[in-house]
């Protein structure tokens, strides 16, 4: 059966010392506790190696928030999937709407990033989601379908089986305006149907689809209670253990 996952996305927050404190505090909070989901933290690149060393990575997976679309070479300032993997990180968030919007990441670029992540045994947490205007024009299903098709449907069935999806309606990210449990369920069921049509029901049933966008301690339980919502990608509420733990415990 597919995994339940609660993943934090720290974005560009916390310097190295602050990040290490947050990670070790979370590690302490989880010690000796049985939780009903996998826990992941997505830190800035420079935190990855120190965080991976400081925590029990069998209990908390470490994730990058991006990787390069090239394997290696003269790409000043870039960080490759191989480098990410060499830190002890095992996940990478790809296609986040902030990267698509501010850093012009296209479906073609994302396709390359996914392939490199998989080649380096990283689990991509691949983000999809419509902007407000697209939802208002009732184009949200179409938009999400092409985001998945354009970057992921070239993958073999075996490789697709390694992908985690995160549905993040852009209008809900950092706005405090979360999708309703019904809106989330409706889209997640739609996504699972597209996956079933392309890769078969077994692959669709085994793919974890997370919800992201103003998910917090007070709405997580209701969102995660939906049959097709397999967890959350959490931004703001992952920046403090007091806010993040109740989301983990919502399962
Ligand atoms: P948020 O961000 O929880 O702060 O809305 C979610 C995300 O962008 O992954």
Residue range 4-18, pLDDT digits in tens: 999 999 999 999 999
Looking at residue 107, what is its pLDDT?
Answer: 98
- Which of 131, 234, 240, 244, when mutated, tests ligand 1's pocket best, judged by the most ligand atoms within 8 Å of its CB? 234
- Which of 43, 130, 168, when mutated, tests ligand 1's pocket best, judged by the most ligand atoms within 8 Å of its CB? 168
Sign of the alpha-carbon torsion through 241, 87, 233, 3: negative
Ligand 1 centroid, distance to 200 Cα (angstroms): 30
Task: Provide the domain count of the chain.
Answer: 1
What's the pLDDT band for 54 if we cut at 50, 70, 90? very high
**For every residue of the chain, which 3-state class applies, written as one string?**
CCCCEEEEECCCCCCHHHHHHHHHHHHHHHCCCCCCCEEEEECCHHHHHHHHHHCCCCCEEEEECCCCCCCCCCCCCCCCHHHHHHCCCCEEEECCHHHHHHCCCCHHHHHHHHHHHHHCCCEEEEEECCCHHHHHCCCHHHHHHHHHHHHHCCCCHHHHCCCEEEECCHHHCCCCCCCCHHHHHHHHHHHHHHHHHHHCHHHHHHCCEEEECCCCCCCHHHHHCCCCCCEEEECHHHCCHHHHHHHHCCC
Residue 40 scores a pLDDT above 90 = yes
Across 225-248, average pLDDT: 98
Look at 32 and 7; give whichever has higher pLDDT.
7
pTM of the entire predicted model: 0.98
Residue-wise pLDDT for 68-80, tens only, equals 999 999 999 999 9
Residue-wise pLDDT for 194-222, tens only, equals 999 999 999 999 999 999 999 999 999 99
Catalytic status, residue 104: no
Ligand 1 centroid, distance to 214 Cα (angstroms): 6
- Computed over every residue of the chain, the mean pLDDT equals 97
Residue 1 scores a pLDDT above 90 = no
Q: Domain limits at 226?
A: 5-248
Check: CB of residue 222 under 8 Å from CB of residue 228.
no
What's the pLDDT band for 176 if we cut at 50, 70, 90? confident
Nearest CA to ligand 1 atom 7: 235
Percent of the chain with pLDDT over 90: 97
Residue-wise pLDDT for 88-134, tens only, equals 999 999 999 999 999 999 999 999 999 999 999 999 999 999 999 99
Q: Are strands 123-128 and 164-167 parallel, antiparallel or unpaired?
A: parallel
Nearest CA to ligand 1 atom 3: 235
Residues with CB under 6 Å of ligand 1 are: 9, 168, 173-174, 212-215, 233-237
Ligand 1 centroid, distance to 73 Cα (angstroms): 32
What's the pLDDT band for 177 if we cut at 50, 70, 90? confident
Q: Cα dist. 196→129, 191, 221, 232 in Å?
A: 19, 9, 26, 22
Task: Assign residue 48 the CATH number of its domain.
Answer: 3.20.20.70
- Give the pair of three-digit tokens for residue 172: 């809900």
């Amino acid at each position: 059966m597919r995994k339940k996952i609660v993943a934090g996305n720290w974005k560009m927050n916390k310097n190295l010392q602050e990040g290490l404190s947050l990670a070790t505090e979370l590690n302490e909070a989880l010690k000796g506790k049985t939780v009903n989901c996998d826990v992941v933290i997505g830190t800035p690149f420079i935190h990855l190696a120190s965080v991976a060393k400081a925590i029990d990575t069998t209990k908390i997976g470490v994730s990058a928030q991006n990787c390069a679309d090239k394997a290696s070479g003269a790409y000043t300032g870039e960080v490759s999937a191989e480098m990410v993997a060499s830190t002890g990180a095992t996940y990478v968030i790809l296609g986040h709407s902030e990267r698509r919007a501010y850093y012009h990441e296209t479906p073609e670029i994302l396709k390359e990033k996914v392939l490199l992540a998989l080649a380096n045994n990283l689990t991509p947490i691949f983000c999809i989601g419509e902007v407000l205007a697209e939802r208002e024009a009732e184009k949200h299903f179409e938009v999400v379908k092409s985001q998945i098709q354009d970057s992921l449907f070239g993958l073999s069935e075996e490789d697709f089986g390694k992908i985690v999806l995160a549905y993040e309606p852009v209008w809900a990210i950092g706005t405090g305006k979360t999708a309703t449990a019904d809106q989330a369920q409706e889209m997640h069921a739609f996504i699972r149907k597209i996956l079933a049509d392309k890769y078969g029901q077994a692959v669709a049933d085994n793919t974890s689809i997370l919800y992201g966008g103003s998910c917090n301690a007070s709405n997580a339980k209701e969102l995660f209670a939906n049959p097709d919502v397999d967890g959350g990608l959490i931004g703001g509420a992952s920046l403090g253990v007091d806010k993040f733990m109740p989301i983990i415990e919502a399962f």
